[in-house]
Amino acid sequence: TPLLLIDDLHFAYPDGRVALRGVHLRIARGEKVALVGPNGAGKSTLLLHLNGVLRGNGRIEVAGLPVSERTLSQVRARVGLVFQNPDDQLFSPTVFEDVAFGPLHMGLAARDVQARVERALALVGMSTYRERHPYHLSMGEKKRIAIATVLAMEPEILAFDEPSAGLDPRARRGLIRLLRDLPLTMLVSTHDMAMVQELCDRMIIMDEGRIVADGTAATMLDDE
């Protein structure tokens, strides 16, 4: 079974704007998949369905678990969503508390929470930042902390909305290296084709609420 399965997903916003018009997608464990397409194609809307922030019509399963009202907390432990703007994800007075928030709310014991925070901060190279106030960090540092908050949940899939947006070239390179080295399944919405080339094995193109192309990233980039 695929790690992520989406069948015939449709979604319209409350104002009637149709954002997804029948999305079918299967992602196998370990794949790093780029999600590209023009603004308004439905990429963000699709990502927001992966952990049940939005609920459209259709079937979504994560590691065989159907996404529904009843399974939301389990789904959110399996899918880590990293927003474009880290300020949407960081709200605690210290980095430690931000990264501890998810595992604490999973009901883990304090020492397990501690261990997860340390592991997550080490993975993103931010171990020395635990007592810092997230607000005062650079964009690249905030991005890494936002990723750590999600890694601390030990998810099976990471979903990113425009991860390299707003980063200077050095922070961007560091982020690509970090993501490339993480042995996790990823779905990455981006306009950054160099990032696709360096990070992703597969590329999906969305347009007007549908997937219009799906193939090997290297081949599709060569064809452009």
Instruction: Compute the half-sphere exposure of residue 179: CA atoms within 13 Å on the CB side of its CA.
Output: 33
> Nearest distance from residue 65's CB to ligand ADP, in Å?
24
1-20 residues near ligand ADP, rule: CB under 6 A: 13, 15, 17, 19
Determine, following the binding rule CB under 6 A, whether residue 140 of this chain makes contact with ligand ADP. Answer: no
Beta bridge partners of 59: 7
66-105 residues near ligand ADP, rule: CB under 6 A: 84
Pick the binder of ligand ADP from 39, 169, 222, 223 (CB under 6 A): 39
Nearer to ligand ADP, 84 or 185 (CB): 84
Pick the binder of ligand ADP from 6, 41, 50, 151 (CB under 6 A): 41
Residues in the chain: 224
Determine, following the binding rule CB under 6 A, whether residue 187 of this chain makes contact with ligand ADP. Answer: no
Determine, following the binding rule CB under 6 A, whether residue 49 of this chain makes contact with ligand ADP. Answer: no
The DSSP-derived string for 85-141 is SGGGT--SSSHHHHHHHHHHHTT--HHHHHHHHHHHHHHTT-GGGTTS-GGGS-HHH
Helix (H/G/I), strand (E/B), else coil: 158: strand
Interface positions with ligand ADP (CB under 6 A): 13, 15, 17, 19, 37, 39-45, 84, 162
